Amino acid sequence: MTTIAGRQQAALSPGEFVVPADVVSGIGNGDTNSGAKRLYAMMDNIRGGRTGQTAQPQRINPRLPV
């Protein structure tokens, strides 16, 4: 568990992060919605290149033998 701006609790997994609103707005040239769309497009491009799909992969069962 972590906190956002020291005030609001947020449950993040290792490797996850929160992008501050001013950064999202900056990515969208001052428009938060535009910045969010660009970030989602970036995630789709990365997932598509890695897995061939834009959807987040299914969770892996940690109890499966290796």
Contact 22, 28 (CB under 8 A): no
CB atoms inside a 10 Å sphere around CB 39: 15
pLDDT tens digits for 6-58?
A: 888 888 888 888 899 999 999 999 999 999 999 999 999 998 888 888 887 77
Looking at residue 24, what is its pLDDT? Answer: 97
Considering only CA atoms, which of 30, 57, 55, 31 is closest in space to residue 44?
55
Taking the complete model, does pTM exceed 0.85, yes or no? no
